[in-house]
Structure 1
Amino acid sequence: MSALDTRRGDPPHYSQIWTFRTPRARLALWVGWLALVALFVWCWQVMNQNTLWIFVTDAPDQAVDIGSRMFPPRLGYLPELLMPLWDTLNIATLGTMGGVILAVPVAFLAARNTTPSALLVRPVALFIIVTSRSINSLIWALLLVAIIGPGLLAGIVAIALRSIGFVGKLLYEAIEETDARQVEAVTATGAARAQVIHFGIVPQVLPAFWGISMFRWDINIRESTILGLVGAGGIGMKLQSSIDTLAWSQVATILIVILGTVVVSEALSARVRQALI
């Protein structure tokens, strides 16, 4: 903009034109898209190496055939599913309780405002949380079935070990988000560290704790239904045996029972969390 234009009152003239992205940003965006396309092509080639496309093209016909064999479901098979369903609920409930009990101290050790040592203890607690969250409950069940044998105990421990990471992560984040003013008020009374945690932090995170626990129980109901596929007890064992014997009408009945159980548990969990939070 020139001084002459300013004195005359003319609108200013700018030599630069605003753009949404700079040339460097546009170049980086194109490079990113090209890298994404190259990655997709490479992954597609890797997938096609061991894929038999004759089975893939035949998959719709096979799905229609199996679906026709599932109908109508064998409702007379329901009485035999009551005890396995009860075992599944016990696996989810006891596993959740065990996971929550183990996750609470881990969460307090992982939170910055409650850990006794940010350099030593906190990394160990975070490692436990990451390890638990990284390994699926089905893998835990495979390992535990090989260690302690098939049955409900392997499923319960697998659910507990998987729940530690989920509950511990959400709980330690809730602990770190507590109001520091309440903690300072309790500390000002001369309370010890344990009393500060008990009266200043626990009341703040208690609603989140119950909500997280119920949410995890709802998830564990779904996960415990498939642990029987690897011998960890529950209704999954009935599902596996029915598939092995090609009893597709029984498979349909089992799937209906699992669906109904999941829907009821989700509704119950939502109601409880709504009442607590």
Structure 2
Amino acid sequence: MPVSRTLDGPIWRRRTRQSDWLRYAAWVALAILFVFSWEVMNRGTLWVFVEDAPRQAADLASRSWPPRWEYLPRLWQPLWDTINMATLGTLIGTIIAVPVAFLAARNTTPSAVILRPAALFIIVASRSINSLIWALLLVTIVGPGLLAGIIAIALRSIGFIGKLLYEAIEEIDPGQVEAVKATGASQAQVIDYAIVPQLLPAFAGITVFRWDINIRESAILGLVGAGGLGLNLQASLNMLAWSQVTVIFALILITVLVSEWVSAKVRHAII
């Protein structure tokens, strides 16, 4: 704790003068950044459209209501495709992410010089690119359809699951690992009997949570040709069929709410 000397004796201060000046400088820099960002935004914004936005929103809402509920039966198959896309993508991503996580964790990697940086690169590369961008690239490579969506979901899931899992591996109790090693167990047995039991609750929670996220992302991948509900959404938007768009949005909302409920129940039961 810093102390200031005065004629009346020492005064205890929460921070040093240098820390106070650094805080003031940080606030000034933040204010300058805000002003600069505001100027950049104003430069590229046509405020006449912003002023007209409430009227346009009201017009769009009037076109979207009432929903065209007779369109709903045509969405069951795309909805099933969306759920399958999310589930298969999560499964494939998990299968790849598990060994990558063990290679990335400091306490389980066999090579901290070569394999660990390579595993961390895979995790960062996966997390750096959004699922929609992955789908856009894969539709160009493998063609439109569910396969592109499944691979896109899997590629995105590798980074998410791998990062959280390798952090969980690094936080395990080393005492249990040392106890199993003391019995003369092999490395595979140490992983099987000392590491995996500690990871199972975290692993299950991470996987189910990622599946819940993938349900939401799969619903829009069809916008770039990856199948699922997104294809119907894109077709309805192209035809300006706003009453159909409302039905699709309602179905996506209900699906996400159900997946959120299932995810919470499963994680609560496991953890």
TM more than 0.5 = yes
Do structure 1's residue 228 and structure 2's residue 222 form an aligned pair?
Answer: yes
Unaligned runs of 5+ in 2: 1-6
Root-mean-square deviation over aligned CA pairs: 1.2
Q: 2:106 aligns to what? A: 112
Cα shift at 1:24:
2.5
Partner secondary structure for residue 133 of structure 1: helix
CA shift, 1:25, in A, is: 2.5
- In the alignment, does 2:121 pair up with 1:127? yes
| Equivalent residue letter for 1:136 | N
- The answer for the alignment partner of 1:75 in structure 2 is 69
Q: Which has the larger radius of gyration?
A: 1
Deviation at residue 17 of structure 1 after TM alignment: 3.0
Residue of structure 1 equivalent to 2:170:
176
- 2-structure distance, mates of 1:72, 1:29: 54
1:54 Cα deviation (Å)? Answer: 1.2
CA distance in 2, matches of 1:233, 1:139: 14
1:194-226: CA deviation from partner (whole Å, max 9, x where unpaired):
111111111110121111110000000001111
Aligned length: 265
Secondary structure class of the residue paired with 1:16: strand
Structure 1 residue aligned with 2:209: 215
Letter in 2 for 1:79: P
1:131-174 CA distances to partner (integer Å, 9 max, x unpaired)?
A: 11111101111111111111100000000000001100111111
Question: 1:45 deviation in Å?
Answer: 1.7
Please point out which of 72, 86, 99 is paired with 1:92: 86
Any gaps of 5 or more consecutive residues in structure 1? 1-12
For 2:270, the aligned partner's letter is L
More displaced 10-residue stretch of structure 1: 21-30 or 123-132: 21-30
The aligned residue for residue 7 of structure 1 is none
Letter in 1 for 2:226: A
- Alignment match, 1:3: none
- Quote the Cα distance in structure 2 between the aligned partners of 1:18 and 1:113: 43
- Aligned-pair identity in percent equals 68
Q: TM-score, normalised by structure 2?
A: 0.95
1:15 matched to 2:6? The reply is: no
* Residue aligning to 2:33: 39
Structure 1 partner of 2:3 = none
Inter-partner Cα distance in structure 1 for 2:233 and 2:216? 14
3-state SS, counterpart of residue 113 of structure 1: coil
- In the TM superposition, residue 113 of structure 1 has moved relative to its aligned partner by 1.1
